[in-house]
Amino acid sequence: MTDAKNLTQLGKHVETPQSPEQAVLETVPFQRGDGPPAIVRFTCPEFTSLCPVTGQPDFAHIVIDYAPDKTLVESKSLKLFMTSFRSHGAFHEECTVMIGRRIVEATKPLWLRVGGYWFPRGGIPIDVFWQTGAPPKDAWLPDTGVAPYRGRG
């Protein structure tokens, strides 16, 4: 059984952090084992942040894939982290890269990629991609499952 005694959020009522900087990404131990590394995927199809200039909401479909080494990101803490962006003003690129860097800092994975598929504002969708390097050898990397933006056509 996984040791969860150090978790402060799972199974408890926790208020949404007021900013991504205040959010705590918690981890749990992971036994990687032999063979190719596992790929873990988190999908956040209703991600929201704020435009740093206008304060208007920006919406994205975020896909996070990572190959854990010794720790996993605990999913409730990730949900609280992602939700904390709702009151955070930053450009699409900064939000997407910040998500990847914070998960890497917390988990020290073998590999991570994040794709931010931002919905259009002003008629232009912005897609932002960030990864830590080449994917692990022999890992199965599925397609992100997010179709390119096609408008109303």
φ/ψ of residue 58, rounded to 5: -115, 145
Does a structural domain hold residue 149?
A: no
Does a structural domain hold residue 86?
A: yes
C-alpha 66/C-alpha 50 separation (Å) is 26
What is the token pair recorded at 41? 């995927």
Does a structural domain hold residue 2?
A: no
- The parent domain of residue 55 ranges over 47-131
What is the token pair recorded at 150? 């096609």
Give the chain's length: 153
Q: Which residues of the chain have pLDDT under 50?
A: 152-153
18-55 pLDDT per residue, tens:
999 999 999 999 999 999 999 999 999 999 999 999 99
At 98, which CATH number? 3.30.1130.10
Does a structural domain hold residue 41?
A: no
| Catalytic-role residue among 3, 34, 44, 51 | 51
Catalytic residue status for 51:
yes
Residue with token string 């073998």: 110
Does a structural domain hold residue 88?
A: yes
Could you give the residue ranges of the DSSP H alpha helices within 1-62?
Answer: none
Catalytic residue status for 58:
yes
Query: Structural domain tally of the chain?
Result: 1
Q: Please report the pLDDT score of residue 149 as a whole number.
A: 76
26 labelled binding-site residue: no
